[in-house]
């Protein structure tokens, strides 16, 4: 009986987390302006300010279009209501602190990819940021950036591959995971092994941590995806163009 209850618990949590992981699909890339280091601000800035788009084919258009609408409904019917309820009970200072904690925990991804790209200064900066923020606040505050002037160097394996000349490939929209390119699919797979969350032994704890990260992050950016949809004649194209341009600009930096 105890084993059956545990299996049911894991299944239930898994369903919830699957809904939550949808954050990556929508413009999961937009924090409040205080969190200026978030990709979300970059994504919407690119959409608003840059009409030049690199040519990325979309041979799976009908699949991608269907998955976009699938993720869209999951956001409005599942993730957004959860995040709105969470936002009511969690004050902004707590939510920003949790966001900072998870950002700090992804230090291995940024450190390794800066190193792989030969960005020695940025690699050192990332190490300093991690040490200062961890020792000063366990990662809940941006002490290094706000008080000591360190700059974030957000790098991931998709950008590293791009810096080596690997093209973006074709465009994809995956269920729950959202917009990406073939290159970024490979990048996300590699970065997974640098994410400390993946090494949590307990499945229930790992899913709970993931759920907290996703719901908390979503609570900080409710309204950004809605704004993009309202401002776009075709939200699918708008999101695709913004994502592709953002990733191209990140590689070129």
Domains: count for the chain: 1
Domain that holds residue 73: 2-252
Global pTM? 0.80
With tokens 């990048």, the residue in question is 187
Higher pLDDT, 124 or 177: 124
> Each residue of 205-246: pLDDT tens digit?
999 999 999 999 999 999 999 998 999 999 999 999 999 999
CA angle 61, 66, 71 (to 5 degrees): 125
> Each residue of 110-166: pLDDT tens digit?
999 999 999 999 999 999 999 999 999 999 999 999 999 999 999 999 999 999 999
> Each residue of 54-90: pLDDT tens digit?
689 999 999 999 999 999 999 999 999 999 999 999 9
Please say whether the dihedral angle defined by the alpha carbons of residues 113, 205, 39 and 92, taken in this order, is positive or negative.
negative
Concatenate the DSSP letters of all residues of 174-234 into one string.
ETTTEEEEHHHHHHHHHHHTT-GGGG-S-HHHHHHHHHHHHHHHHHTSTTHHHHHHHH-SS
Whole-angstrom Cα distance, residue 177 to residue 185? 10
Whole-angstrom Cα distance, residue 239 to residue 230? 12
């Amino acid at each position: 009986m105890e084993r059956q209850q545990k299996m049911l618990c894991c299944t239930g949590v898994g369903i919830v987390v699957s809904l939550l992981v949808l954050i990556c699909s929508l413009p999961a890339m937009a924090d409040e302006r205080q969190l200026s280091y978030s990709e979300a601000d970059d994504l919407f800035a690119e959409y608003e300010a840059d009409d030049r788009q690199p040519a990325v084919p979309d041979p799976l258009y009908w699949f991608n279009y269907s998955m976009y609408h699938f993720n869209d409904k999951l956001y409005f019917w599942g993730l957004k209501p959860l995040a709105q309820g969470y936002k009511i009970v969690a004050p902004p200072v707590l939510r920003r602190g949790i966001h900072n904690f998870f950002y700090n925990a992804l230090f291995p991804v940024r450190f390794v990819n800066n190193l792989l790209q030969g960005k020695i200064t940025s690699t050192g900066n990332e190490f300093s940021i991690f040490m200062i923020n961890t020792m000063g606040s366990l990662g809940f505050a941006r002490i290094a950036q706000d008080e000591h002037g360190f700059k974030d160097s957000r790098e991931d394996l998709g950008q590293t591959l791009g810096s080596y000349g690997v093209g973006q490939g074709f465009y994809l929209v995956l269920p729950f995971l959202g917009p990406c390119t073939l290159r970024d699919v490979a990048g996300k797979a590699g970065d997974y092994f640098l994410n400390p969350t993946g090494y949590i032994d307990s499945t229930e704890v790992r899913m709970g941590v993931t759920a907290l990260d996703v719901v908390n992050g979503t609570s900080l950016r409710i309204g950004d995806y809605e704004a993009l949809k309202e401002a776009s004649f075709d939200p699918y194209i708008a999101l695709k163009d913004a994502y592709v341009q953002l990733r191209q600009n990140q590689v070129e930096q």
